[in-house]
Amino acid sequence: MKVIWNSEIVERSEVRIDPEDRGYQFGDGIYEVIRAYNKQYFCLDEHIDRFYSSASKIEMHIPYSKEELKELLNRLLVETGVHTGNVYLQMTRGISSPRNHMYPDAAVLPMLTGTMTSVERDADQMSKGIATIVTEDIRWLKCDIKMISLLGNIMVKHEAHKRNAEEAILHRDGIVTECSSSNVAIVKDGKIWTHPDGNLILPGITKIVWKKCAEKLGYPVIEKPFSLDDLYDADEVFCSSTTIEVMPVCKIGNNVLFDQVPGQVTMALQKAYLHEIEKQCGK
Ligand code: PMP
């Protein structure tokens, strides 16, 4: 399979990563996951903008223009022949040898890699929803940076897995932030609540799209912190991310929200989201 390696598209077997690459040693890097449907990327500009924004927050210089990155990504899509799937794009701060915490000087070039995987939409799961657990948000205070050091996220996801759930809903002192790999929202009396952007959550691209859908459908969106009590009291709960789109939550711990039919606001958003995909990427 072809992959992106710095400014080129090469066979995966040709890629060499130095053991002193800062991504490998420190988790010093950023990433994006971008979905493609029907050989077209969805929300590519938004993902590229967030990639640049993450880079600037850690003073990492991306030695490519946005146009060059988009062109590389488009070439990857063509050369891999993937129809519907995900690209994982990662940039680390490159090699600092010998190992040293301090950022290396500007002459050290970052390391860019991008891999493409074929993945269909999981319409079945989207109609059934996912089970979740609730656990403490043990991560740091710069969750707005889409960085590759994901140990906090991985640990809570693993906890969810051990408890037969797909996702972990996180809270800080009783305030719901987001999930291990998605944003979360609740529906109460026809209104949608979700945590505001800021340093405690990742500003989701999927959230931008479903907020637009909610506006069109006439559902008010309230971006204010809400509590665990609000979560348990909600009419509907859904998670959102590039890979799971608008995903109903059917269970929170042992608390069953629905066992057959997800809530109607969630399903209306899911349908409208698919419509946005079809508008950008075709049917
Ligand atoms: N929060 C976290 C912690 C995530 O990992 C993700 C998925 N990358 C999201 C939210 C959703 O972001 P997006 O909609 O841009 O995929």
* Active site (annotated) includes residue 103: no
Please report the ipTM that was assigned to this predicted complex.
0.99
The pLDDT confidence band at residue 216, using thresholds 50, 70 and 90, is very high
For 228, the enclosing helix (H) or strand (E) is helix 228-233
Q: Which of 146, 207, 211, 251 is catalytic?
A: 146
For residue 235, how far is its CA from the centre of ligand 1 (angstroms)?
A: 23
Whether the Cβ atoms of residue 12 and residue 3 lie closer than 8 Å to each other: yes
For residue 241, how far is its CA from the centre of ligand 1 (angstroms)?
A: 5
* Active site (annotated) includes residue 66: no
Q: Model-level pTM? A: 0.98
Q: Is the pLDDT of residue 283 over 90?
A: no
Residue nearest to atom 5 of ligand 1 (CA): 181
> Which mutation among 172, 182, 194 tests ligand 1's pocket best, with the greatest number of atoms within 8 A of CB?
182
Predicted local confidence at residue 207, as pLDDT: 98
Domain boundaries in the chain? 2-120, 124-281
* Active site (annotated) includes residue 70: no
**Residues 254-270: pLDDT tens digits?**
999 999 999 999 999 99
* Active site (annotated) includes residue 202: yes
Q: Is the CB of 33 under 6 A from ligand 1?
A: yes
Of ligand 1's listed atoms, the one at least distance from the Cα of 205 is 15
Q: Is the CB of 205 under 6 A from ligand 1?
A: yes
Q: What is the assigned CATH class of domain 124-281?
A: alpha beta
For residue 4, how far is its CA from the centre of ligand 1 (angstroms)?
A: 22
Q: What is the assigned CATH class of domain 2-120?
A: alpha beta
Of ligand 1's listed atoms, the one at least distance from the Cα of 206 is 14
Please confirm whether the linkage preceding 98 is cis (ω < 30° from 0): yes
**Residues 139-182: pLDDT tens digits?**
999 999 999 999 999 999 999 999 999 999 999 999 999 999 99
**Which pairs with CB-CB distance under 8 Å and at least 24 residues apart come from 215-220?**
216/272, 217/268, 217/269, 217/272, 219/187, 219/190, 219/191, 219/192, 219/265, 219/268, 219/269, 220/190, 220/191, 220/192
Nearest residue to 183 (alpha-carbon basis) of 238, 134, 119, 143: 238
Percent of the chain residues past pLDDT 90, beyond the cut: 99
